[in-house]
Amino acid sequence: MVIFDKLKKIVNKKNENEDLAKTEEIYDKGLSKTREEFVSKLSLLGIKYTKISEEYFEELEDLLISADIGVNTVFSFMERLRKRVSTEKIQDTKMLNEIIVDELFIIYVNNESLTTKINMNENGPTVILMVGVNGVGKTTTIGKLAHKYQQMNKKVMMIAGDTFRAGALEQLKIWADKTNSLFYGKENIDPAGVIFDGLESALNEKADIILIDTAGRLQNKVNLMKELEKINKVIDRVIPGAPHETLLVIDASTGQNGIMQAVSFKEITNITGIVLTKLDGTAKGGIVLAIKEEVDIPVKFIGLGEKMEDLQTFDIEEYIYGLFKDLM
């Protein structure tokens, strides 16, 4: 089908480009658990049922849900699939595999012009506010983002806005030292005040990229909402129009819980993009599709390993290819 053909062409082109081939290798390795779990079961389903039947559809539905694509997403997907099978008079399950890939791609893109690009400030430093619950890999992600921008010859500053959690400042400072980034932080005081001073320092230092860590408490949404509102006002006062991005960090291995976090944070503040961490350590790679369908926020980065370069800009074509290459 269209997507299969397109993906094959992309892969062939990437083999001619060393950097792109390396990206493909990272996606390939990082999505291996989901691919092995999901695609192997999909292949077995095609062997069990050579012809499409209601029993086939029911097992396919269960399989998609187990990959954490999300119940609502799966139901709408199955409805589209059934309609397409009927319209195109498809009977062979092997041929249907291509339709499945095609439709999953369509679900994510949905005729929209999605961008994974960070909104860069052309008139000064770009401010990226990082939010997310504790334990999702937020600080590590900040370190990997700093490395990514350092590779682009950008001057990076980290600001420790998580001022009350024990060890949060030290943890971020370690990453600042590791990535040769500037750092600003003070413990046990109002986060907005620390961020104000940090931004002033970043302007004096002529930083290009400012990465701001925040507290990860979601138990009391009202308090967190007020704190983030205050932080946003302070940031805008020092650098008008900032933050330019507010990225929500989610641990992919938490599956549906991660989607609930996305829903909650979307209610609290303006999320412009999602970073999915630990995608390499889970067979629940379908969460990428579920998040887009449930909260309509683009995934901008995905974590596919522990190395610095394993934080990749999200690419839907690489993702779909990484999941389904064994079917091609």
Looking at the structure, tell me whether residues 61 and 142 fall in a common domain: no
Does the structure show a pLDDT above 60 at 113? no
Say if 117 falls within a structural domain.
Answer: no
Looking at the structure, tell me whether residues 138 and 252 fall in a common domain: yes
- Closest by CA to 207, choosing from 229, 239, 175, is 239
What is the pLDDT averaged over residues 304-323?
Answer: 88
CATH number at residue 49: 1.20.120.140
Say if 256 falls within a structural domain.
Answer: yes
Say if 251 falls within a structural domain.
Answer: yes
DSSP 152-200: TT--EEEEE---SSTTHHHHHHHHHHHTT-EEEE-SSS-HHHHHHHHHH
Q: How far is CA 328 from the centre of its chain?
A: 25
Report the alpha-carbon distance of residue 45 to residue 48 in Å, rounded: 5
| Average pLDDT value for the chain | 89
| Residue that wins the pLDDT comparison between 234 and 46 | 234
Looking at the structure, tell me whether residues 50 and 145 fall in a common domain: no
Looking at the structure, tell me whether residues 208 and 85 fall in a common domain: no
Say if 121 falls within a structural domain.
Answer: no
57-61, 145-149, 253-257: the lowest-pLDDT one: 253-257
Report the alpha-carbon distance of residue 131 to residue 261 in Å, rounded: 11
In the structure, what pLDDT confidence band is assigned to residue 94 with cuts at 50, 70 and 90? confident
Write the burial class of residue 15 (CB in 10 Å: 0-12 exposed, 13-18 middle, 19+ buried): exposed
Report the alpha-carbon distance of residue 210 to residue 208 in Å, rounded: 7
Say if 138 falls within a structural domain.
Answer: yes
Looking at the structure, tell me whether residues 23 and 56 fall in a common domain: yes
Looking at the structure, tell me whether residues 154 and 291 fall in a common domain: yes
| Residue that wins the pLDDT comparison between 39 and 177 | 177
In the structure, what pLDDT confidence band is assigned to residue 3 with cuts at 50, 70 and 90? low
Looking at the structure, tell me whether residues 241 and 105 fall in a common domain: no
**pLDDT for 181:** 98
Report the alpha-carbon distance of residue 191 to residue 186 in Å, rounded: 9
Q: How far is CA 24 from the centre of its chain?
A: 17
In the structure, what pLDDT confidence band is assigned to residue 52 with cuts at 50, 70 and 90? very high
1, 98 in Cβ contact below 8 A?
yes
In the structure, what pLDDT confidence band is assigned to residue 19 with cuts at 50, 70 and 90? low
Say if 135 falls within a structural domain.
Answer: yes
How far CA 177 is from CA of 102, 147, 154, in Å, comes to 45, 11, 15
What is the pLDDT averaged over residues 298-310?
Answer: 91
Looking at the structure, tell me whether residues 180 and 241 fall in a common domain: yes
What is the pLDDT averaged over residues 271-288?
Answer: 90
What domain range includes position 23? Answer: 2-109
Report the alpha-carbon distance of residue 248 to residue 244 in Å, rounded: 13
What is the pLDDT averaged over residues 231-249?
Answer: 97
In the structure, what pLDDT confidence band is assigned to residue 22 with cuts at 50, 70 and 90? confident
**pLDDT for 267:** 92
Report the alpha-carbon distance of residue 10 to residue 328 in Å, rounded: 13
Say if 226 falls within a structural domain.
Answer: yes
Say if 115 falls within a structural domain.
Answer: no
The model's pTM: 0.91
Domain boundary at 109, 143, 173, which?
109
Looking at the structure, tell me whether residues 92 and 131 fall in a common domain: no
105-114, 153-162, 198-207, 305-314: the lowest-pLDDT one: 105-114
Summarised one tens digit per residue, pLDDT across range 171-183 is: 999 999 999 999 9
Summarised one tens digit per residue, pLDDT across range 173-230 is: 999 999 999 999 999 999 999 999 999 999 999 999 999 999 988 878 889 999 999 9
Length of the chain, in residues: 328
* Continuous segment of H or E residues that includes residue 230: helix 221-238
CB atoms within 10 A of CB 220: 10
**pLDDT for 324:** 82
**pLDDT for 26:** 86
Task: Measure the N-to-C terminal CA separation of the chain; round to a whole number of Å.
Answer: 11
Share of the chain above pLDDT 70, in %: 92
Summarised one tens digit per residue, pLDDT across range 117-173 is: 899 999 999 999 999 998 899 999 999 999 999 999 999 999 999 998 889 999 999
Looking at the structure, tell me whether residues 179 and 85 fall in a common domain: no
CATH number at residue 217: 3.40.50.300
What is the pLDDT averaged over residues 96-101?
Answer: 86
Looking at the structure, tell me whether residues 92 and 161 fall in a common domain: no
- Closest by CA to 48, choosing from 37, 59, 34, is 59
Number of structural domains the chain divides into: 2
